[in-house]
């Protein structure tokens, strides 16, 4: 959970971002727009008090912190992009993008697209034959 917004219970991503410090809002909007461009059919919501994106299951989450943005592409996004994420501080299922460096937006795009495709394939495997799911 974000320490910046933990005192505020928010119901949507716009409010979450608006509750963050002004200098951080631009970075969060870039991240938000990158995620939505990579997965245009994703539903945007707040889950675990963080912005979250859902497409046939959860894709990614992010959270604003004092010195970094936490990015959560669980369960498989971090493992799949282990080499590309190696320069960043990581925890179990999380990566920290420091605020004093530009966000790796092309990498975030690849991770979100990977997670969307992965969720779609999993979803399609559960459908009865002859009922294709909508594609990104």
- Tell me the per-residue pLDDT of 91-120, one tens digit each, with 9 for 90 and over: 888 999 999 999 999 999 999 999 999 999
Q: 53-79: per-residue pLDDT in tens?
A: 999 999 999 999 999 999 999 878 899
**How many separate domains does the chain show?**
1
Q: Do residues 49 and 1 make contact, with C-beta atoms less than 8 angstroms apart?
A: yes
Distance CA 15, CA 102 (A): 23
Residue 68 lies in a domain: yes
| 133 within a domain of the structure (yes/no) | no
Sheet holding 43-47, edge to edge: 43-47, 50-54, 58-64, 68-72, 94-98, 89-91
**CATH number of the domain residue 40 falls in:** 3.90.1150.200
Range of the domain at 108: 13-123
Give the global pTM. Answer: 0.87
Q: Is residue 2 part of a domain?
A: no
The C-alpha atoms of residue 102 and residue 42 are separated, in whole angstroms, by 24
SS3 content of the chain, % helix, strand, coil (to 5): 40, 20, 40
């Amino acid at each position: 959970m974000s320490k910046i917004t933990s005192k505020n219970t928010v119901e949507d991503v716009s409010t979450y971002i608006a509750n963050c410090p002004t200098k951080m809002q631009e970075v969060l909007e870039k991240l938000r727009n990158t995620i939505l461009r990579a997965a245009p059919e994703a539903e945007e919501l707040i889950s675990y008090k963080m912005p979250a994106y859902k497409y046939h299951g959860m894709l990614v989450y992010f959270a604003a912190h004092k010195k970094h943005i936490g990015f959560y592409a669980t369960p498989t996004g971090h493992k799949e992009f282990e080499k590309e994420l190696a320069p960043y501080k990581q925890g179990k299922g999380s990566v920290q993008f420091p605020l004093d460096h530009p966000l790796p937006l092309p990498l975030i795009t690849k991770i979100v697209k990977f997670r969307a495709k992965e969720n779609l394939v999993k979803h399609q495997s559960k459908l009865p034959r002859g009922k294709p799911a909508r594609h990104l």
